[in-house]
Structure 1
Amino acid sequence: MDSIQNRITAFVKLGAFLSQFSQEKFEKATNIEHNDLFFDGFKHQIKVAQEKNSWFTKDNIIFALNSWSKALTKSNLEAWISKNAIDTNSPKTVAIVMAGNIPLVGFHDFLSVLISGHSVLVKQSSSDKHLLPFLAKYLEYVDIDLKGNITFTEQKIENFDAVIATGSDNTARYFEYYFKDKPNIIRKSRNSVAVITGKETEEDLEKLSEDVFRYFGLGCRSVSKLYVPRAYDFNNFFNGMFVKKDIINNAKYANNYDYNKAVYLMSLFDLLENGFLMIKEDESYSSPIATIFYEYYDNPIDLKIKLHQDKQKIQCIVAKDFIENEIAFGETQYPQLWDYADGVNTLEFLSKL
């Protein structure tokens, strides 16, 4: 098995490769290894990914690629790994069942398994199956030792030692039963919330629009629920959201907006809306597309207790000087390598196999 340093180098090279696709105009650089083999091919895969899934707009794919190209630096990877004891003496095969809600959503698990020295068996979602296999091929070219350690399957997954599976609450129940005899990480649906105190600046709320609308709100780090003080003036919130008004020009988003609005109006729900976003008072965390749920709070301490009690359902809490481990406005879609989904340390899990 190759050394961890070789694997870090391979992912750093992948980060450099991705940096060519992290702006509106793709620029072929001269210093990227194997570019002649891979540049045009990956450009084509981005186009195919857009055609196969209309939530995967060019803008959102570029955003995801840009995030990964920035994360995959030598200093980042080394800082991340240094926090965990990685022992590569007994490599295992780890199956990953990936979600498909946002582009490359399963990449962190894929990276974690390979960097830990294990082999990976990937079952992708049909919604997101064009980008990762191509990037895996690139990795095999820059680190020959990875060849044979990356497998993609569309069949039932078999012959594996451990599993990381992400799905809805329903599929998670199936996963828990199906994988009960293997070491596993099973992730369920989570949503992110924002706590508004009324002291936010206009700029804070404009930044919050990124947490709400990036990936059309489909990510688990996307804010789908607001907590607001009683008598809050929602005009401030809507003014902050206005910078994203062009989202309604996406046909699929607009259809969801029209459909959900019709359902709410027929059900006689009280709604506030601005032509591209509806807000509705509702206790649940998971809101439909083009909708944000909100709940009033009277006492900050009671709200903190509630958020703590519901922590299994919440991925991120966006706030300003309200609660520990909060995320700043506009920052939910910029996780570090060590910001683990559901707070479960994947590297630690992998090091104990």
Structure 2
Amino acid sequence: MNLNQRIEAFAKLGDFFGQFTTKGIVKKEDSEFNSLFFDAFKMQIERAQEFNGWFTKDNVLYAFESWNEALTHENLKNWTSKYKFEENKTPKNIAIIMAGNIPLVGFHDFLSVLITGNNTLVKQSSNDKHFLPLIAKYLEHYNIYFKNKIIFTEDKLTNFYAVIATGSNNTARYFDHYFGKYPNIIRQNRNSVAIITGKETKEELEALGEDIFQYFGLGCRSVSKLFIPKDYNFDLLFNALFKFNNIINYKKYENNYDYNKAVYIMSLFNVLENGFVMLKQDENYASPIATVFYEYYNSFDSLLKKLKTESEQIQCIACNENVVDFVKLGETQHPKLWDYADNVDTIEFLLKL
């Protein structure tokens, strides 16, 4: 199976995902293999919250919709065109240790290993273990080539050449200890930030709300910290974010909000809040659920220098200023195929093995 055929397989998968969107689940009569897979995917989406309380139906559908948008034939061709693929190269077994903080969070690594023609040995998180095996079955049915290239395991990883592992700062130390002798990509905690200039429209600040609240703020591309100019009027931000106020009606989020608010009050922290999100002045990047940290800045240029210095803690930067590598407000949860986690080029890593 050559690269073009692998691209075609994932483009078909992306098209299949297009039946599951935030607008609803709509079965296409002409979609291949629907008789085998549509009902299975639909049932798993409907039941996802039973296995992981954070995986609401809307959040799961948002993930499928995002991958439907990404897995077009054009995107896949553009993504792979910058690399030199050796079609006769012997495939290697690549172990992937996945996180489970948001739905399908490990899919990009899975895609990268298979699109490069390698074999994948997947160790899933217990928090997100039901979708990828279904996706693997779809690919295997589309082309038997995938049959022996995808293995899932819950046991100790063996018989692999390289490792891609994603986890917390603590698990990263564990990963480094056990897998440091292998070629590896080991990812740690990162968070995303947004820069407010004070020139944003209400619509742009509402878009920022998507970056903050999507997936309840649990993703590495979720904005957990704001950089604010001196004398900023927070009413502008709170008024724009009000459209997301229904998030407090979700019990797990509400429990976190109440708990963190109580901690802040008991600790005598000065927190701005509006009943469903709290803003706390804090120099750290990783904020608790229902909290967004903020920090004032004096000049845009000095802030850019600071962010560059602390780039290893940052996944992406949202801002509507026209700066290279910035993401527009509202776009942090829509990475392109070539937007690599931790800015480590996974395809380049795999092709050099």
**Short-chain TM bin:** over 0.9
* C-alpha distance in structure 1 between counterparts of 2:245 and 2:33, whole Å: 41
Letter of the 1:281 counterpart: Q
* C-alpha distance in structure 2 between counterparts of 1:334 and 1:230, whole Å: 30
Percent identity, please. 60
SS in 2 for 1:127: coil
1:118 and 2:108 are equivalent in the alignment: no
SS in 2 for 1:61: helix
SS in 2 for 1:68: helix
Structure 1 unaligned runs (5+)?
none
Q: How does 1:116-155 map to 2 (within 5 A)?
A: 116-155=116-155
* C-alpha distance in structure 2 between counterparts of 1:243 and 1:25, whole Å: 21
* C-alpha distance in structure 2 between counterparts of 1:59 and 1:255, whole Å: 20
Which position in structure 2 is the counterpart of 1:39? Answer: 38
1:13 and 2:17 are equivalent in the alignment: no
Q: CA deviation at 1:47?
A: 2.3
SS in 1 for 2:24: coil
* C-alpha distance in structure 2 between counterparts of 1:60 and 1:183, whole Å: 34
Which position in structure 2 is the counterpart of 1:100? Answer: 100
Q: How does 1:179-198 map to 2 (within 5 A)?
A: 179-198=179-198
Contact 1:278 1:290 (8 Å CA) reproduced: yes
Q: CA deviation at 1:322?
A: 6.0
* C-alpha distance in structure 1 between counterparts of 2:27 and 2:323, whole Å: 44
When the two structures are aligned, how many residues end up with a matched partner?
Answer: 352
Which position in structure 1 is the counterpart of 2:167? Answer: 167
| Residues 232-268 of structure 1, C-alpha deviations (whole Å, 9 max, x = no match) | 1111111111110110111100000000000110111
Contact 1:206 1:241 (8 Å CA) reproduced: yes
Which position in structure 1 is the counterpart of 2:29? Answer: 30
Bigger Cα displacement from structure 2, 241-250 vs 317-326 = 317-326
Contact 1:191 1:220 (8 Å CA) reproduced: yes
* C-alpha distance in structure 2 between counterparts of 1:320 and 1:73, whole Å: 27
* C-alpha distance in structure 2 between counterparts of 1:70 and 1:192, whole Å: 22
Q: How does 1:271-290 map to 2 (within 5 A)?
A: 271-290=271-290
* C-alpha distance in structure 1 between counterparts of 2:15 and 2:323, whole Å: 36
Which position in structure 1 is the counterpart of 2:76? Answer: 77
Bigger Cα displacement from structure 2, 27-36 vs 249-258 = 27-36
Letter of the 2:27 counterpart: K
Change (3 A) 1:148 1:332: same
Q: CA RMSD in A?
A: 1.0
| Residues 48-80 of structure 1, C-alpha deviations (whole Å, 9 max, x = no match) | 322111111110100000011111111111110
SS in 1 for 2:260: helix
Q: CA deviation at 1:81?
A: 0.5
* C-alpha distance in structure 2 between counterparts of 1:116 and 1:278, whole Å: 44
Change (3 A) 1:23 1:192: closer
* C-alpha distance in structure 2 between counterparts of 1:150 and 1:190, whole Å: 28
Structure 2 unaligned runs (5+)?
none
Letter of the 2:15 counterpart: A
1:228 and 2:228 are equivalent in the alignment: yes
